[in-house]
C-alpha cells in the first residue's frame, strides 16, 4: 500500500500537469469553421427555400428547418419514419451544400474543414460515418464476447460455493461493467449512423456513465476494497458527480466560458465521443486518464500473473488517445482519427477481458486455498 501511495505522488507531481498542458492545447482548436463560411450558409438558406442544391433537388424538402410546412397543410409534413430512414430537408441541404463547398475548396487548392463540429464524410446507404459505425459494432461484439466468456468462466468452469455463488468477490461489479459497455457501444453505433440531438445525448450520456462506473471499479479493484460500506463510501460521491454531469448534458446548454474556469479547478481534459471542446470532453478524459494511471501504477506494484496485459492496455490506450488530440480529415472521406481510435480499441478490448478472466481465476484460486 505504501508503494502504491508513493506512486500516486509521482503521478500528481509530473503527469497531471502534463495532461493539463495538452488539454489547453486542445481547447484552443477551432472545431467548426465550415458552417461559418458565408457561401455555405447562403447555400443552405437557399436550399431550404427551393429544395435544391445546384441541379440536385429533394422531393421531401418542402419544409423549413424547424419542420413547418412551407407550401402545404400540416398533414403533408415529413413523417417520423421518413426522418429516420432518410435525411430530412435541413440535413440534406447541409450535406449537399457541404459537398459542393468542399469541391470548390479542393478546386481552389484548399484543404477540408469541419462543418458543425464534424469533418465532411461520405455517406454510405444513409450512414453518416460508416467507418466509425463498423468499428463501434466490432467493439460491441468484442465486449459481448468478453462478458459472455467471463460469465461462463465464473459459473461453469471455476468452483462455486455451497450457495452457488462464485469465489470471485468482484464478479457483480464486472457484470455491471459489461452491461454498461454493451449499452455504450450500441448507442455509439446509432449515433455515428445518424447524428441527431437524441442520439447525440444518448451516446454521450452512455459514454459518461461507462467511464464514471469504470473509474469506480478501477478504484475498488486496485485498492482491493471488499467491504460493502467502504465500497459505498467510494462510489457515492463519484456516482453523484456522474449523475449530475449527465443531467447537465441533457437539460442544460453548455457554456464553454464557464467550463474553462471550471476546468482549471477540476483539472479536466477531454477525449471520448465528442467533437466540440467543452465540459463533456474534459470530464471524459480526466476519468479515462485517471483510470489508466491507476491501473498502470497498480500493475507496477502488484505481483499479479497477468499484469503484462494491464501494461498493454494502459500503454495502448494512452497511445490511442493521441488520435483524439492529433485530429485529421477523413481519408477518402471515410476514415478519420476518431474512426481509427475506435479501431484500436477492438484488440485492446479483447486483451482487457482476457485480464478480467485471469483476475477472476487468480482471485478465486487464492480464496479457495485459504478456505481449505
> What phi, psi does 145 have (nearest 5°)?
-60, -45
12-21 long-range Cβ contacts below 8 angstroms, 24+ apart: 15/293, 16/267, 19/267, 19/269, 19/285, 19/289, 20/267, 20/269
Cβ neighbours for 64, distance < 8 A, ≥ 6 positions apart: 48, 70, 89
Overall average pLDDT of the 107-133 stretch: 86
| Interval 175-222: pLDDT, tens | 999 999 999 999 999 999 988 788 888 998 999 999 999 999 999 999
> What phi, psi does 284 have (nearest 5°)?
-65, -45
Instruction: Specify which residues 69 forms β-bridges with.
Output: 63
How would residue 54 be classed by pLDDT, with cut points 50, 70 and 90?
Answer: confident
Q: Which residues of 70-91 are buried (b: 16+ CB within 10 A; e: fewer)?
A: eeeeeeeebeeeebeeebbbbb
Looking at residue 14, what is its pLDDT?
Answer: 44
Overall average pLDDT of the 95-102 stretch: 88
Q: Which residues of 249-273 are buried (b: 16+ CB within 10 A; e: fewer)?
A: beeeeeeeeebeeebeeeebbbbbb
Distance CA 201, CA 207 (A): 10
| Interval 142-169: pLDDT, tens | 999 999 999 999 999 998 887 778 889 9
DSSP 3-state assignment of 292?
A: helix
How would residue 23 be classed by pLDDT, with cut points 50, 70 and 90?
Answer: very low
Contact 190, 127 (CB under 8 A): no
| Interval 75-95: pLDDT, tens | 344 555 545 555 677 788 888
Comparing CA positions, the residue from 211, 258, 261, 262 lying closest to residue 238 is 211
Distance CA 254, CA 277 (A): 11
320-326 long-range Cβ contacts below 8 angstroms, 24+ apart: 320/344, 320/345, 320/348, 321/271, 321/285, 321/288, 321/289, 324/270, 324/271, 324/272, 325/22, 325/25, 325/26
* Structural domains in the chain plus CATH codes: 2-31+126-371 (1.20.1070), 34-107 (no CATH)
Distance CA 157, CA 149 (A): 10
C-alpha cell at 3: 508503494
Looking at residue 171, what is its pLDDT?
Answer: 95
Amino acid at each position: 500500500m505504501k508503494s502504491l501511495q508513493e506512486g500516486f505522488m509521482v503521478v500528481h507531481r509530473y503527469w497531471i500537469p502534463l495532461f493539463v498542458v495538452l488539454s489547453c492545447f486542445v481547447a484552443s482548436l477551432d472545431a467548426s469553421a465550415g458552417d461559418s463560411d458565408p457561401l455555405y450558409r447562403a447555400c443552405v438558406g437557399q436550399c431550404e427555400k427551393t429544395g435544391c442544391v445546384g441541379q440536385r433537388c429533394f422531393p421531401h424538402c418542402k419544409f423549413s428547418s424547424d419542420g413547418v410546412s412551407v407550401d402545404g397543410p400540416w398533414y403533408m409534413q415529413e413523417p417520423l419514419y421518413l426522418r429516420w430512414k432518410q435525411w430530412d430537408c435541413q440535413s440534406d441541404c447541409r450535406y449537399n451544400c457541404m459537398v459542393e463547398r468542399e469541391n470548390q475548396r479542393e478546386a481552389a487548392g484548399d484543404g477540408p474543414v469541419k462543418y458543425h463540429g464534424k469533418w465532411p464524410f461520405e455517406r454510405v446507404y444513409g450512414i453518416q460515418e460508416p467507418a466509425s459505425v463498423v468499428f463501434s459494432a466490432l467493439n460491441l461484439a468484442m465486449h459481448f464476447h468478453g462478458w459472455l466468456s467471463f460469465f461462463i468462466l465464473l459459473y461453469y468452469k471455476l468452483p462455486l460455493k455451497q450457495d452457488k455463488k462464485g469465489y470471485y468477490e468482484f464478479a457483480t461489479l464486472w457484470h455491471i461493467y459489461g452491461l454498461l459497455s454493451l449499452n455504450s457501444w450500441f448507442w455509439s453505433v446509432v449515433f455515428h449512423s445518424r447524428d441527431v440531438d437524441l442520439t447525440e445525448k444518448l451516446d454521450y450520456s452512455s459514454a459518461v456513465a461507462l467511464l464514471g462506473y469504470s473509474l469506480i471499479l478501477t478504484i475498488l479493484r486496485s485498492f482491493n476494497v471488499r467491504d460493502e460500506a467502504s465500497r459505498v463510501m467510494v462510489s457515492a460521491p463519484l456516482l453523484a458527480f456522474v449523475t449530475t454531469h449527465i443531467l447537465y448534458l441533457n437539460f442544460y446548454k453548455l457554456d464553454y466560458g464557464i467550463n474553462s474556469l471550471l476546468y482549471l479547478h477540476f483539472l479536466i481534459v477531454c477525449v471520448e465521443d465528442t467533437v466540440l471542446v467543452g465540459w463533456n470532453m474534459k470530464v471524459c478524459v480526466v476519468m479515462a486518464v485517471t483510470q489508466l494511471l491507476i491501473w498502470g501504477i497498480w500493475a507496477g506494484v502488484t505481483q499479479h500473473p497477468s499484469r503484462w496485459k494491464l501494461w498493454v492496455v494502459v500503454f495502448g490506450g494512452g497511445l490511442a488517445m493521441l488520435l483524439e488530440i492529433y485530429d485529421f480529415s477523413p481519408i477518402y472521406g471515410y476514415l478519420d482519427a476518431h474512426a481509427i481510435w475506435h479501431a484500436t480499441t477492438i484488440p485492446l478490448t479483447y486483451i482487457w477481458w482476457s485480464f478480467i478472466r485471469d483476475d477472476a481465476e487468480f482471485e478465486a484460486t487464492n480464496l479457495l486455498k485459504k478456505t481449505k
